[in-house]
Amino acid sequence: MVFRGKRRRDQSSRRQQPLLPKSCLDYLQRGLTQNGFYVLVDDQSHPYMTYCDLSSELGSAWTLVMSWQTAKFRDLPHFKTKVFAEDAPINAGSPNWFVYRETLARMKSIRSQSTHWRATCDINSREVIDYEDYLRGRFVDLDIFEWQGGQTCFPIDYVNIRGKAAGTGTTLAFWQNPGSYILHTDSQNTTCEFFYKADPLVDFFGYYGDGISSEFRCSATPDATTQWWFGGYLSKERFVQNNSQPVGA
């Protein structure tokens, strides 16, 4: 009798213990808003360390999946030729700004809890995001794990390259091919609705094999960095900054 009663209490206690989150959005939903290192669990319930951005964009949470010092490490295959669908971890479980890429399994686990992806520039040296040199899209519009190809137009949620910006539904050209280049856009004049013309050709938010721009924040200095994140929003409402820059879902 005592054993059965004790077992019921232990089982009840275990049921009441909160499960470890699978994405940073879970932490935001629990009321945490401090950016920093957090523990997540993957699809096999294995814990690992990640970096969460819980405050830079109102009502959203972002899990860092990749970051590198653009000029120094742009030729590493992890950041140049290995597409998102390939497993190419470096410093996995030890997130940092300068040379980091998570495992494919963990990326897929985070993606399963995310609605959006975004790319940022040199975020580690900035106190706030001002949405310059910034890219955000929805997995439903461009699933960066599934799609591979060249110069294909996809609708994005928001893009800003050197101050030239466009909002929801605007199309932007992307490239991503295994063995050739990781997901990125560039300065070609494409048939898509948005492009940032630069001559000679330079790349934005990844690859950087065609060239880098000293005017683009991700590559403006030798120490500048590029980041990719997966995330989502607490609500479906869209917030608008300065009447022109959408910063919500």
Q: How confident is the model at residue 3 (pLDDT cuts 50, 70, 90)?
A: very low
Q: Provide the pLDDT for residue 236.
A: 64
- pLDDT for 233 beyond 90: yes
- pLDDT for 39 beyond 50: yes
- Among residues 205, 208, 179, the alpha carbon closest in space to that of 85 is found at 179
Q: Provide the pLDDT for residue 189.
A: 82
- pLDDT for 244 beyond 90: no
Average of per-residue pLDDT across 68-72? 97
- pLDDT for 15 beyond 60: no
Average of per-residue pLDDT across 67-84? 97
- pLDDT for 90 beyond 70: yes
- pLDDT for 225 beyond 80: yes
Q: How confident is the model at residue 126 (pLDDT cuts 50, 70, 90)?
A: confident
Q: Provide the pLDDT for residue 237.
A: 56
- pLDDT for 17 beyond 50: no
Q: Is 14:7 a contact under the CB 8 Å cutoff?
A: no
- Among residues 208, 133, 200, 121, the alpha carbon closest in space to that of 163 is found at 133
Average of per-residue pLDDT across 47-66? 96
Position 103, amino acid: T
Average of per-residue pLDDT across 189-197? 90
pLDDT tens figures, 151-185: 999 999 999 999 999 999 999 999 999 999 999 99
Q: Where are the domains of the chain?
A: 24-240
For the chain, what is the mean pLDDT? Answer: 89
Q: How confident is the model at residue 93 (pLDDT cuts 50, 70, 90)?
A: very high
Cα radius of gyration (the chain): 19
- pLDDT for 4 beyond 50: no
- pLDDT for 138 beyond 90: yes
Q: Dihedral through CA 100, CA 104, CA 107, CA 113, nearest 10? A: -170
Q: How confident is the model at residue 18 (pLDDT cuts 50, 70, 90)?
A: low
> Which is more confident, 98 or 1?
98
Average of per-residue pLDDT across 230-245? 63
Residue by residue, DSSP assigns 36-105 as EEEEEE-TT--EEEEEEE-SSSTTEEEEEEEEEEHHHHTTSHHHHT--TTS---BSTTS--SSEEE--HH
- pLDDT for 144 beyond 80: yes
- pLDDT for 97 beyond 60: yes
Q: Provide the pLDDT for residue 20.
A: 86
Rounded to whole angstroms, the Cα distance separating 107 from 79 reads 15
Q: Supply φ then ψ for residue 238, to 5 degrees.
A: -100, 130
